[in-house]
Amino acid sequence: MPEGPEIETEKLHESVTEAVERRDSGLLRTIALTTAILAVVAALAALQAGATVNEALMLRGDAARLQGKAAVQDVARNSWLAAGKEPPSEYGDTVRRYSGEQAELQRKAQEKEAERDKCIEESDHLLHLHHRFANAVVLLQISIALGALAALTRQRWIWWVSLVAGVTGTGLCLVTAFAS
């Protein structure tokens, strides 16, 4: 009876370990590549989300400015009257000038109100786009996290779930980009 095994188990163990590492290194490279691509898409979606919210906020500011211009005359006069004083003579001259131009001022006020309403409507649309881009970013971030988890655990099914989340996030980003 032989004292040791007839087959070199040490070499067999090394061969099996090398084969597993080669197989896993291909999976790891694939996971790393898809995760890097998804990170780029996530960065672009985040950039778009930031741009749309900034533009929406600027439009809201424009709308507030337009609304403020329409109300300035009444506020100034009412401030003086609320204090129990008559407005200064310079203000009276301005009021008389405005009274002479009342019809024109009314028309301009209505134009500014229409412009304000248009700004608010466009701002609402941009905020809607911002939320869609933000949702795409969340899906892409989840996808990247799952990709890292797949690389750590070397579980191919986790990587497939990562791809599904990434494709969904990318699709939402593209649909939103072309909808604007």
Q: Identify the pLDDT of residue 116.
A: 75
| Mean per-residue pLDDT, 36-56 | 80
Best CA proximity match to 168, nearest among 130, 139, 137, 147: 139
Which regions of 87-137 does DSSP assign to beta strands (E)? none
Take residue 22 and report the two structure tokens written for it.
Answer: 């080669």
- Kindly tell me the burial class for residue 10, based on how many C-beta atoms sit within 10 Å of its own C-beta (0-12, 13-18, 19 or more): exposed
Question: Which of 26-40, 64-78, 163-177 has maximum average pLDDT?
Answer: 163-177
Q: Is 95 helix (H, G, I), strand (E, B) or coil?
A: helix
d(CA 118, CA 39): 36
Take residue 26 and report the two structure tokens written for it.
Answer: 């291909």
pLDDT digits (tens, 9 = 90+) for 103-144: 666 677 677 777 777 777 887 888 888 888 889 989 999 998
pLDDT digits (tens, 9 = 90+) for 161-179: 999 999 999 999 899 889 8
Instruction: Give the count of alpha carbons within 13 A of 48, CB side only.
Output: 27
d(CA 144, CA 31): 10
Better pLDDT: 140 or 8:
140
- The mean pLDDT of the chain is 75
